């Protein structure tokens, strides 16, 4: 076993556990009176959680000096993209029944849907360029490109905030975590600049 | 016959004969359920909910099936017990629907505090099967037990100054733990225009599926206005006032551009954040088209003649 493989396995377990558990509940008919809505919300929730976990990895490494943790960043990021995609497919198929006129109207006219859709669009190039080959080919520009994850996460939080009717508690928790993670990295950038 | 044919039915919605037969069976079953409610002592305390002339209302030609009791009682918007759909069923055990007093006041001849037993005893319960359309674009079909609000209002005799009816839910954070967080401006308030309140479809519900109203569904007394979005059908009512001015209602205060006072089900007027043209009937996969006034246009549309429903959403 190579160093860090236990960590990788943990990341895979974290990514797959929700899928496994929800599949069990689905087949046991344990998703409540509105299983389509339950699945839609479940996938969206895990997309956002894993996006925030992915964004937390660099701050964790810097704060704790635990360098190994960086090895799971790609895995976590790709799982986040997996749940975003699943969320979108559930919306298109199960929720909207592929009624394209309604879907297009939603995406174009309703900021609540537009924000989520834009977040997804921003994540696509990041998922595509997540391979070693692309990292090599893009060089410095890879890092610049992957900063798109910040606006994507911001749009995800906004989408979540616009989804709720009155109870904004969890969207605000997500926002606080996102802002916290952004603040956690800016001092390092400032320090680096100052020392160079 | 309480629910007549909803107006304008497209060709595709006309029920095939076989389904029609099924529905006749279903209506028969519903009738039996109503009867069961009347005679089964297990679920009913003595004197409660004795349906005088329990009559199973029929549904229109659209294919409507009763939403299972389990779904009706575990998927609720009742923020006084939490904002998740499953929260009310989990948390509503703290509500004590007995004893219960409803304060009736304002512009009427017989104001006073009425005990829930008095109310239930005075107005015999009948069964009404209604569609319930939530503003969130899902719907159910529920066999309510209750009496027309009209009967109660005629009993308390509104004066000529009464233009609106204002309803208030219990405020007691010990019984309703969701009220500890100010998600809405507690207590919950709803209202109807007098003609809406007097419409024969408007029901004060005391039970469902022939049983007493479960706490999470608004025990012991709630409003049911089937042509309006569900949030108008206020639960666990402690006060009814006859007033001159339009009541300030909770969701309208919270987000006025999204929730109007009237809140009539209208597939042509979208919620700012989602379409109201279709709905998911719980238990179904594909969305179905939403009907004008939730399919009760024939009974209620005339009350809104000449009103711009886009403005008065």
DSSP B278-302: EEEETT-SS-EEPPGGGGTHHHHGG
Q: Which residues of A touch B251 (CB under 8 A)?
A: 166
Centre a 10 Å sphere on the Cβ of residue B266 and count the other Cβ atoms it contains. 22
Chain mean position to CA B190:
12
Per residue in B220-235, pLDDT (tens digit) is: 999 999 999 999 999 9
Mean pLDDT of B74-99: 97
Least confident stretch, B17-21, B166-170, B213-217? B17-21
Q: Under DSSP, is residue B190 helix (H, G, I), strand (E, B) or coil? A: strand
| Structural domain contains residue B155 | yes
Highest averaged pLDDT of the listed ranges A183-187, A192-196, B267-271: B267-271
| Structural domain contains residue B232 | yes
Least confident stretch, A105-114, B12-21, B79-88, B150-159? B12-21
User: CA B237 to CA B239: how far, in whole Å?
Assistant: 6
Please report how many Cα atoms fall inside a 13 Å half-sphere around the Cα of residue A35, on the Cβ side: 15
CATH of the domain at B56: 3.90.420.10
How many structural domains does chain B have? Answer: 1
Mean pLDDT of B8-31: 42
pLDDT bin (cut points 50, 70, 90) of residue B62 is: low
CB contact under 8 A, A33 and B274: no
Q: Does A110 touch chain B (CB under 8 A)?
A: yes
Give the chain B residue nearest A90 (alpha carbons): B285
| Structural domain contains residue B181 | yes
User: CA A70 to CA A74: how far, in whole Å?
Assistant: 8
DSSP 8-state symbol, A92:
I
Q: How many helices (H) and strands (E) does chain A have?
A: 9, 0
Mean pLDDT of B283-290: 94
User: CA A138 to CA A132: how far, in whole Å?
Assistant: 10
Per residue in A97-143, pLDDT (tens digit) is: 999 999 999 999 999 999 999 999 999 999 999 999 999 999 999 99
Residue count of chain A: 196
Q: Does B248 touch chain A (CB under 8 A)?
A: no
pLDDT bin (cut points 50, 70, 90) of residue A195 is: low
Q: Which among A50, A35, B86, A12 has a CA at the least distance from the CA of A20? A: A12
Q: Under DSSP, is residue A115 helix (H, G, I), strand (E, B) or coil? A: helix
At B15, list the tokens. 């029920």
Per residue in A148-185, pLDDT (tens digit) is: 999 999 999 999 999 988 899 999 999 999 999 998 87
Per residue in A14-69, pLDDT (tens digit) is: 999 999 999 999 999 899 999 999 999 999 999 999 999 999 999 999 889 999 89
| Structural domain contains residue B298 | yes
Mind telling me how many Å the CA of B270 is from chain A's nearest CA? Answer: 11
Residue A15 sits at φ, ψ, to 5 deg, of -70, -35
CB contact under 8 A, B274 and A167: no
Q: Does B231 touch chain A (CB under 8 A)?
A: no
pLDDT bin (cut points 50, 70, 90) of residue A192 is: low
Q: Residue B52: give the domain boundaries.
A: 11-304
**Complex prediction ipTM:** 0.87
CB contact under 8 A, B272 and A110: yes
pLDDT bin (cut points 50, 70, 90) of residue B56 is: very low
pLDDT bin (cut points 50, 70, 90) of residue B22 is: very low
Query: Shortest CB distance from B183 goes to which of A32, A34, A167?
Result: A167
pLDDT, residue A5, reads 77
User: CA B233 to CA B236: how far, in whole Å?
Assistant: 10
User: CA A29 to CA A26: how far, in whole Å?
Assistant: 5
pLDDT, residue A194, reads 67
Q: Under DSSP, is residue B237 helix (H, G, I), strand (E, B) or coil? A: strand
Mean pLDDT of B98-127: 97
pLDDT, residue B34, reads 38
User: CA B145 to CA B213: how far, in whole Å?
Assistant: 8
| Structural domain contains residue B267 | yes
Which DSSP helix (H) or strand (E) runs through B103? strand B101-106
Q: Under DSSP, is residue A96 helix (H, G, I), strand (E, B) or coil? A: coil
């Amino acid at each position: 076993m190579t160093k860090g493989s236990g960590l990788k396995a943990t990341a895979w377990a974290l990514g797959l556990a929700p899928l496994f558990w929800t599949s069990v509940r689905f087949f046991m008919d344990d998703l409540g009176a509105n299983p389509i809505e339950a699945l839609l919300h479940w996938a969206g929730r895990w997309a956002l959680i894993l996006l925030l976990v992915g964004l937390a990895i660099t701050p964790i490494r810097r704060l704790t000096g635990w360098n190994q943790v960086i090895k799971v960043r790609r895995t976590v990021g790709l799982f986040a993209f997996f749940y975003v995609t699943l969320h979108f497919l559930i919306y298109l198929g199960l929720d909207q029944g592929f009624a394209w006129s309604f879907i297009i109207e939603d995406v174009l006219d309703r900021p609540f849907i537009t924000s989520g859709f834009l977040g997804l669009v921003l994540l696509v190039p990041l998922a595509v360029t997540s391979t070693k080959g692309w990292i090599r080919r893009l060089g410095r520009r890879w890092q610049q490109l992957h900063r798109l994850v910040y606006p994507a996460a911001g749009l995800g939080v906004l989408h979540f905030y616009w989804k709720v009717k009155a109870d904004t508690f969890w969207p605000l928790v997500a926002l606080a975590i996102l802002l916290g993670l952004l603040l956690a990295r800016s001092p390092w950038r400032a320090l680096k600049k100052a020392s160079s | 016959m309480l629910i007549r044919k909803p107006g304008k039915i497209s060709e595709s919605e006309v029920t095939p004969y076989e389904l029609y037969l099924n529905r006749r069976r279903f209506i028969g079953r519903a009738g039996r359920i109503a009867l069961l409610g009347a005679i089964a002592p297990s679920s009913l305390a003595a004197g409660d909910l004795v349906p005088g002339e329990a009559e199973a209302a029929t549904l229109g030609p659209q294919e409507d099936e009763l939403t299972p009791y389990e779904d009706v009682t575990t998927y609720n918007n009742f923020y006084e017990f939490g904002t998740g759909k499953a929260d009310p069923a989990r948390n509503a055990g703290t509500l004590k629907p007995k004893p219960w007093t409803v304060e009736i006041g304002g512009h009427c001849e017989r104001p006073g505090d009425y005990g829930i037993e008095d109310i239930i005893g005075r107005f015999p319960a009948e069964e009404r099967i209604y569609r319930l359309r939530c503003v969130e674009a899902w719907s159910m079909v529920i066999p309510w037990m209750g009496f027309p609000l009209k009967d109660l209002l005629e009993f308390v005799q509104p004066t000529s100054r009464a233009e609106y009816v204002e309803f208030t839910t219990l405020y007691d954070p010990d019984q309703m733990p969701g009220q500890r967080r100010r998600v809405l401006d507690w207590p919950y308030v709803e209202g109807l225009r007098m003609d809406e309140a007097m419409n024969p479809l408007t029901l004060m519900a005391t039970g469902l599926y022939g049983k007493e109203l479960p706490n999470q569904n608004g025990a012991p007394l709630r409003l049911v206005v089937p042509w309006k979005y569900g949030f108008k059908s206020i639960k666990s009512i402690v006060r009814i006032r006859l007033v001159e001015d339009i009541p300030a209602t909770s969701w309208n205060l919270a987000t006025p551009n999204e929730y109007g006072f009237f809140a009539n089900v209208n597939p042509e007027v979208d919620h700012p954040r989602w379409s109201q043209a279709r709905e998911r009937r719980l238990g179904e996969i594909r969305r179905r088209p939403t009907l004008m006034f939730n399919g009760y246009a024939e009974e209620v549309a005339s009350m809104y003649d000449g009103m711009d429903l886009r403005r008065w959403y």
